[in-house]
A and B are shown apart, each in its own frame.
Chain A
Amino acid sequence: MEDNQKVSIEQLQVQIDALKDKISQLENSRKDQLSIAVVSGDLDKVLAAMVISIAAAAMDTQVKLFFSFWSLSALRDPNKSPKGKDIISKMFGCMLPTGTKKLKLSNMNMAGMGPKMIGYLMKKQNVMSLETMFKEAGELGIEIVVCEMSMGLMGFKKEEFIDYPNLSYAGAATFVADAGESSIQLFI
């Protein structure tokens, strides 16, 4: 009888150790990290992505932003004019907004009136401008990864993007890998 009990306690110990291993594995697989796939190039949506990112970074959460498709417009620097584009790339470049100040609203855009009004209200109510937010984001160490594929698709060149301290270029697998280890994943 006593022997039986001894065995069962040892077995329990083995099970507890196995559980401890699993828990530490789970803990390590979910970092205090926020991953956002920023796809929309609408002013309101890029704004949401940046506000959430800055709040997270202020709370010491690591932030990784994956900029893809329309959102790339927000990263374009209006003061830079890249050379050597083909005709379709040039057309795309002209049709798409250049920089945060030219982004449209997803609702109530009203041929550009909407963003002007929002801009006025943001200033009046002391909300940081998107431009300032990108600057703060850079200082907070928020990483921006540019989707290489959509950059090529839209004919954007690396030279036309803003000077941002933690900007890199990668593919979808990078987002998948980053998002996989993040405790928060968002798609905007």
Chain B
Amino acid sequence: MTAEELKSVDVARSVDARGTACPGPLLEAKKAIGTIKAGDVMEILSSDEGTKQDIPKWCGKQGHEYMGWVEENGYFKVYMKKK
């Protein structure tokens, strides 16, 4: 997906993990995933570079769909869809 497409996606839950470093963002995402329904999209806000690599790995293992990331001012938004 392109950055524009990602930005226009309906997000069911936004997880702001900008206040934590590795493995904080992954942990925040894990805690939040239980609160959304299958097929819902979640975005994870992180200022930790590693999150861009870690979330796709997590999605791959859990069977969620990793959608991509966009860069904002000083942080990243990583998008994924729950299985």
* Chain A residues packing against B (C-beta within 8 Å): 51, 54-55, 58-60, 125-128, 136, 140
Contact = CB atoms under 8 A, between A and B. Distances in A.
A54 B23 CA distance: 7
B82 to A, nearest CB: 14
Interface of B: 19-24, 26-27, 29-30, 54, 57-58, 61-62
Contacts of A54: 23, 27
A90 to B, nearest CB: 38
Nearest to B57: A59
Contacts of B26: 55, 58-59
27 contacts: A51-B22, A51-B23, A54-B23, A54-B27, A55-B22, A55-B23, A55-B26, A58-B23, A58-B27, A58-B29, A58-B30, A59-B26, A59-B30, A59-B57, A59-B58, A59-B62, A60-B30, A60-B62, A126-B20, A126-B21, A126-B24, A127-B20, A127-B21, A127-B22, A127-B24, A128-B21, A136-B27
Nearest to A52: B23
Interface of chain A, helix or strand or loop or mixed? loop
Given A59-B61, A60-B62, A140-B27, 13 more contacts: A51-B22, A54-B23, A55-B23, A55-B26, A55-B54, A58-B26, A59-B30, A59-B57, A59-B58, A125-B21, A126-B19, A127-B20, A127-B21
Contacts of A140: 27
A58 B26 CA distance: 7
A22 B57 CA distance: 29
Among A55, A58, A125, residue most surrounded by chain B Cβ atoms (within 10 Å): A58
A127 B23 CA distance: 8
B30 A128 contact: no
A60 B62 CA distance: 8
Contacts of B29: 58
Nearest to A133: B23
A126 B29 CA distance: 17
Nearest to B59: A59
Contacts of B58: 58-59
A59 B64 CA distance: 12
Nearest to A55: B23
A118 to B, nearest CB: 13
Nearest to A32: B61
Contacts of B27: 54, 58, 136, 140
